[in-house]
Amino acid sequence: MRKVMSKMNWMFLALLTVTVMAVAQQPASAPQNPQPVAATQPGQTAAQPSQAQSNLAAPTTMDQVVDRVILREKDLIKFLSPRTPIVETYLQDLAQDPQLGPIPQDDHYFLGRMDLRESIDRSDYLQDKGKGEGMERHLLGEITRKFKFQYQPLGFSWMIFVDRNDFDRQHYDFHYARREFLGDVRCLVFDLTPRKDAGRGRFLGRIWVEDQDFNIVRLNGTYARPSRNSYYFHMDSWRLNLIPGYWIPAYIYSEEGDFTAGAKNKIAFKAQTRMWGYNLKTGTVNDELTNIRVDSVKDDTPTAQDATPLAAEREWQQQAEDNVVERLERAGLLSPEGDVDKILQTVVNNLEITNNIELPRPVRTRVLTTSPLETFSVGNTIVVSRGLIDVLPDEGSLAMVLSHELAHIVLGHNLGSQYAFNDRMLFSDEGTYQNLGFKHIPEEEAAADKKAIEMLKASPYAQKLETAGLFIKALQARAPQLSALLQAHLGNNIAENGTVTRMAQLGTSAPALDWNKLDQIAALPLGGRVKLNAWDDKVEIVKAQPVAITSARDKMPFEVTPFFPRLSRYGTANTPAATTATAPSTTATAANASATPTN
Ligand SMILES: [Zn+2]
C-alpha cells in the first residue's frame, strides 16, 4: 500500500494512453474509419439512430436494457463525431489551511477545441502567451518541479464517453445497483467493472442511465489498471438533454488528494472541465457562401445625406465592433445575445441615467463564455466573462465591473478601428487570442478607474460599494494563488503580478475582510451564477435556492466546486420562459435575486 502511494506521489499522469491503447486494441478499423465503433459491433444495425430508437420495443429484461445502453452510447459517439466542441479545464492545486481547509495554492487553465472524430484530440487556444515556450511543456515542467505531478489537459476531458471503442459486454461486466432520481430524471444505476482480460485503461465506476431511452446521463469513476508511472484521475462526468434524443457531455469534475491526518499524499487538486460549442459551424469557405445574410442591406438613415467626417468615423468604429462581436461568437468565445445581457444592460443604464451620459449609440453588453476573470470593450460593446459574473457577490460589484468599461467608452478610449478591415477577421478560431486584443495603456486604465468611481458615487450603487470593495479585498487575498484565473486573454488584467490593480481604490475604503464573519460574502465560488448551454452557447442565470453558509469553509471564494446540475428532459423544464420574467427591472434588482448565496 505504501509503495503504491509513493509511486503515485512520484508521478501522477492523466494520460492520453487511454486513447492510444484503445485504438491499438481495435486493429484495422481505427485509423481511417471515421466511425470505428459502428464497423465492428454486431448490434450496430442502427444507422439512423433516432429512427431506430423509436422502432425498438421497450426492453423488458435488465440484459436488454444493457444492450440498449450500449447501443445508445455508440450512437452518441457517432452523432458527436463530426463536432469540435470547445473544452475548458480550470484546475486549482490545493494546500491545507488550518482554518479554511483546502484552499487554492496555485492554478492552471486550459482551453482548446476537441476533435471527436476518431480518437479524441485537441488543439489549444492558448499558445506561448509570453511564456517563451510551449504552454504545455512549460506547464508540465513547472508542475513537475514543484509537485512531481503532471497534468495533461486532455486527461480531464477524456471521460466524456465510457469507452470510445470497446463499450460492450466483451470488455465490461454490468451490475444493476438501483433506481435513483437525478433532478427530474429517473435513472437506472449500474456499476461497471472491466473484465479480467479487457486490458488497461478501462472504465471502472458507476453510470446513471435515464429510464426512457436508456442514454447515459452521468459517469462517475476512473480508469482501471494504469500502466507503470501513470495514473488516471477520478472524475464525475455529466450530460444534459440539450437537444431531442441526445444527452450532451457538458461538465466534468475531478478531484484528487487526501488531507486527513497522517496521509502521506498531500498533493491535491480540484478541476472543472466544461464543454460547449457543440453546434458551432466549422467554418469552411463553402459554408460561408451558402449562409450569406441579406438583412440590413438597406440604408435606413432618416435623410439620405453623406456622412460628416465624425459620422464616418463612428460608422467605421461600429463596423469594427460588429466584426469583432460576430467573430468571437463564431469562435464560441462569445455567448449569443440573451437574458443575461439584459441584466447587465440594466445596470449600465442605471449608471448612464444617473450620470446624464448620452452616447451616440446605446451601449451593448455581451458575455464571454470562458472562466478567467476579465472584461473588455470594443466600440460600444462591453464584454464580461462568465467566470467574473459567477464570482461577483452582488449587483453593486457588478456595477463596479461594468462602470470601468463604461468609463472607457465615455472617455472615447475604445477605438479598435483596425478591426473594421475584414481581412483582420480571417483567422482560425484557435488563433483568436493571437489576432484580437483590447488592452489599454496604463494611463487609460487609471483614467477609466477614476471616471468609474465618479460615476458609481453618483449612481444608485453609491450605498452598495462596501461589498464591491470587499470583493476587491477578497480578490487581493487570493490573487497571488490564482494567476491563471486572473490572466486576461483579450482585455487588461485585473491584477498584475499578484496585486489587484483594477478599481483598487474601492478596496481601501471597504471594511476588513473577515472569513469567520458568516454574513460577509465577499466573493462567490465559480459556476454559481451563470449557466452555459453546451449546445448553443447561450447563457442564463442559474436558478438556485440559496444554501445557508454554516462555516468559513463554506464560502469558497473563487473556488472550484463539484458539479451537480439539475437534470431534466429536453423541453420539460429550465425553459427560457422562466428567466425572461426576472430579467430587466428599472432598478435591476433582478441580477442577484436568484443567485445570492445567503440572505
Ligand atoms: Zn480597462
First vs last Cα of the chain: how many Å apart?
A: 47
CA 375 to centroid of ligand 1, rounded, Å? 8
Q: Are 556 and 264 in contact (CB under 8 A)?
A: no
Give the C-alpha distances (Å, rounded to integers) separating 563 from 252, 273, 373, 526: 7, 10, 20, 11
Residue 402's H or E segment, with its range, is helix 395-410
Distances, alpha carbon 42 to alpha carbons 26, 47, 74, 75, in Å: 15, 12, 12, 13
**Over residues 85-89, mean pLDDT:** 90
Residue 315, C-alpha cell as written in the block: 460608422
Q: How confident is the model at residue 4 (pLDDT cuts 50, 70, 90)?
A: very low
Per cent of the chain over pLDDT 90 is: 50
More confident residue, 484 or 20: 484
Would you state the pLDDT for residue 469? 96
The amino acid at residue 66 is V
Mean of all residue pLDDT scores within the chain: 78
What whole-number distance in Å separates Cα of residue 467 and Cα of residue 475? 12
- What's the whole-number mean pLDDT along residues 333-358? 96
Cell numbers that stand for 381 in this block: 460593446
- 524: CA distance to ligand 1 center in Å? 23
CA 463 to ligand 1 center in whole angstroms: 23
Q: Going by C-beta distance under 8 Å and a sequence separation of 6 or more, which residues neighbour residue 333?
A: 86, 368, 369, 370, 432
Can you name the residues that pair with 22 across neighbouring β-strands?
none
For residue 276, give Cα distances in angstroms to 123, 382, 459, 593, 599: 15, 22, 37, 26, 32
Rounded Cα–Cα distance for residues 499 and 507 (Å): 12
> 514 C-alpha to center of ligand 1: Å?
29
pLDDT at 226: 65
Q: Mean pLDDT over residues 265-271, rounded?
A: 76
CA of 321 to the centre of ligand 1 (A): 17
| pLDDT category of residue 316 using cuts at 50, 70 and 90 | confident
Per-residue pLDDT at 435: 84
Q: If you measure from the C-alpha of residue 381 to the centroid of ligand 1, how many angstroms do you get, rounded to a whole number?
A: 13
Mean pLDDT of the 546-570 span? 90
At residue 236, does pLDDT exceed 50? Answer: yes
pLDDT value, residue 124: 67
Reported residue count of the chain is 599
Question: If 0-12 CB within 10 Å is exposed, 13-18 middle and 19+ buried, where does residue 482 land?
Answer: buried
- pLDDT the model gives residue 528: 83
The per-residue b/e assignment along 134-164, b for 16 or more CB within 10 angstroms, e otherwise, is ebbeebbeebeeebebbbbbbbbbbbbbbbb
Highest mean pLDDT among 118-122, 162-166, 209-213: 209-213
Given pLDDT bands bounded at 50, 70 and 90, which one contains residue 478?
Answer: very high
Average pLDDT over residues 390-404: 96
What three-state secondary structure class fits 6?
helix
Predicted local distance difference test score (pLDDT) of residue 228: 59
Of the pLDDT bands very low, low, confident and very high (cuts 50, 70, 90), residue 184 is: very high
Compute the average pLDDT of residues 54-64: 80
Q: What is the pLDDT of residues 488-530, one digit of tens each?
A: 999 999 999 999 999 999 999 899 999 999 999 999 999 889 9
Phi, psi of 464 (to 5 degrees): -115, 20
| Of 311 and 215, more confident | 215
Residue whose C-alpha is closest to residue 448's, from 391, 511, 375 = 375
Distance 503 CA to ligand 1 centre (A): 10
